[in-house]
Amino acid sequence: MEILNGIWNVKNISGGFAGIDDDYDTGIITWTFNNQILTIENNESQGNIYSGFESGTYYYSTNEINGNNYIIINNAEYGGFTLSVNNLTINQNETSSGSGADGFMLQFER
């Protein structure tokens, strides 16, 4: 989905079994989407329980099912996503096979 193209900054990660709620400054964790290649730079050094993927390059695609959007990273569904002009939310509890309870919610800003 070309609309994801560009650099997104992780602003908050919440949820999971432990119920985390961690905020991040701009530039600490960035996800750059470019033509089905996702480059992640994860400079989180606070020792948080979960900060997403490690730095690296991943393949991604998107899927729309019944009006809901899902992101697939390295051939595994990562979660549902919603997108507005400068905000992206990926919710691991929203999957094409149903809802979960212990996933994480990642909030991004352009």
Cβ(83)–Cβ(99) below 8 Å: no
Q: What is the pLDDT of residues 14-71, one digit of tens each?
A: 999 889 999 999 999 999 999 999 999 999 987 788 888 999 999 999 999 999 999 9
Q: What is the pTM assigned to this prediction?
A: 0.93
Nearest to 88 by CA among 8, 18, 24: 8
* Domain range for 77: 2-109
Over residues 60-105, the pLDDT tens digits come to: 999 999 999 999 999 999 999 999 989 999 999 999 998 988 999 9
Distance CA 35, CA 59 (A): 9
Count the domains in the chain: 1
Q: CATH number of the domain that 54 lies in?
A: 2.40.128
